[in-house]
């Protein structure tokens, strides 16, 4: 089944058909699964930019750091109302 998937831990892997969390080769590793990459691609601008630029990796921590350093200086998701 893996033959269809060119690269795990990428949105392309999800597109190629890797849509099961436990089926992904990156499951149980420190790397993102294809699903996680797909979801991240939808909502994480920094990651999307990296993917489009061809510089994305499947490492999770890389993007947490990148996001924290780029445009998240103020926590906005706190609901105080
Ligand atoms: Zn995969």
| pLDDT on residue 21 | 87
* pLDDT tens-digit map of 58-67: 988 655 544 4
Cα-to-centroid distance, 13 and ligand 1 (Å) = 5
Q: What is the pTM of this model?
A: 0.70
Contact 61, 46 (CB under 8 A): no
Cα(5)–Cα(24) distance, integer angstroms: 10
Average pLDDT, integer, range 64-71: 49
Do 8 and 24 form a contact (C-beta atoms < 8 A)? yes
Tell me, in angstroms, the distance from the centre of ligand 1 to residue 61's CA: 18
C-alpha 70/C-alpha 72 separation (Å) is 6
d(CA 1, CA 41): 23
Q: What does the alpha-carbon distance between residue 38 and residue 78 come to, in Å, rounded to a whole number?
A: 25
């Amino acid at each position: 089944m893996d033959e269809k998937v060119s690269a795990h831990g990428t949105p392309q892997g999800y597109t190629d058909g890797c849509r099961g969390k436990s089926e992904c080769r990156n499951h149980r590793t420190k790397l993102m699964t294809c699903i996680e990459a797909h979801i991240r691609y939808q909502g994480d601008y920094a990651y999307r930019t990296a993917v489009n630029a061809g510089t994305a990796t499947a490492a999770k921590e890389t993007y947490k750091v990148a996001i924290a350093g780029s445009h998240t200086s103020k926590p906005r998701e706190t609901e105080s109302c």
